[in-house]
Amino acid sequence: MIELDIQLTQGTFRLDVTATFNGKATAIFGPSGSGKTTTLDAIAGLRAPDRGVIRIDGRALFSSRERVNLPSHQRRVGYVPQDVALFPHMNVRLNLLYGRHPGTSPPLERVVSMLEIESLVDREVGALSGGERQRIALGRALMSGPSLLLLDEPLASVDVPLRRRILPYLQRVRDELHLPLVYVSHDREEVQRLADYVVVLEAGRVAAAGSPAALLGSNPGTLEP
């Protein structure tokens, strides 16, 4: 169960998001500039709200009333930003192992085989394609043993054929690791394929929330080969 009540002002932009969701994969959907990334940043602890509450399964990550603001390194929230940000001075293996934590991290072999990145482990980061970078960034986040995974437009920077190849990996993470996903998207089809709950943002506010079929129609679109 994820409870959000985030109020945050950034220049002239005001974010006021209140939502509670319990899905396996929740999409934050909306046009650019609607506050999607800012919402993820707040959950990850990279930007503190002015007021509000952020709770995962009852654990307060942020609460202005209780004066709680856990630093991001104590939140156990995996984050794959839009530009994936693989550490350029480390090879793939060191990237994957950066957040490894004895006890909470899954075995490296399991993550590597689930994402099918066996052949990439000893490569340099600069030698990877866009889709490979996405998978490594996903693996790096999984290796930190998070209790929640945030993905910022995981498929936006890759072309359509590649999307078809990456989407199944996200579905596997969702189904095999039982790890709740919260991901940002402005792509209707992507939301329909992956999410079981959608929060629609418009100009910093929640315009609607519910099942993808109810909110975005039931046509799964053209992503399916």
Partner 1 sequence: MDVWQITRFTVACAIAATVMVLPPGVAIAWVLARRRFTGRTLVETLVSLPLVLPPVATGLILLMVLSRRGAIGRILESLGIEVVFTWKAVVLAMAIMGLPLLVRTARAGFEQVNQRYEQVASTLGAPPSRVFFTISLPLAWPSIVAGAVLAFARGLGEFGATIIVAGSIPGATRTLAVAIYSYAETGQDREAAALLVVSATIAFLALWYANRLAGRRPA
Site for partner 1 contains 11 (CB under 8 A):
no
H or E segment to which residue 169 belongs: helix 160-176
Site for partner 1 contains 79 (CB under 8 A):
yes
Site for partner 1 contains 13 (CB under 8 A):
no
Shortest gap between Cβ of 127 and partner 1 (angstroms)?
A: 12
Shortest gap between Cβ of 78 and partner 1 (angstroms)?
A: 7
Shortest gap between Cβ of 52 and partner 1 (angstroms)?
A: 19
Nearest to 29 by CA among 112, 37, 21: 37
Binding mask 106-145 for partner 1 (x = CB under 8 A): --------------------x-------------xx--x-
Binding mask 15-54 for partner 1 (x = CB under 8 A): -----------------------------xxx--------
Choose between 35 and 81: whose C-beta lies nearer to partner 1: 81
Retrieve residue 46's tokens. Answer: 């990279």
Dihedral (C-alpha) 4, 152, 94, 146: value to the nearest 10 degrees? Answer: 30
Length of the chain, in residues: 225
Strand 205-210 and strand 197-202: pairing? antiparallel
Shortest gap between Cβ of 22 and partner 1 (angstroms)?
A: 22
Choose between 53 and 141: whose C-beta lies nearer to partner 1: 141
Site for partner 1 contains 83 (CB under 8 A):
yes
Cβ pair 41, 75 in contact under 8 A: no
Task: Report how far residue 128's alpha carbon sits from residue 23's, in angstroms, rounded to the nearest whole number.
Answer: 32
Burial of 3: CB neighbours in 10 Å, binned 0-12, 13-18, 19+: middle
Phi, psi of 113 (to 5 degrees): -75, -35
Residues found near partner 1 in the complex (CB under 8 A): 44-46, 71-79, 81, 83, 85, 87-89, 98-99, 101, 126, 140-141, 144
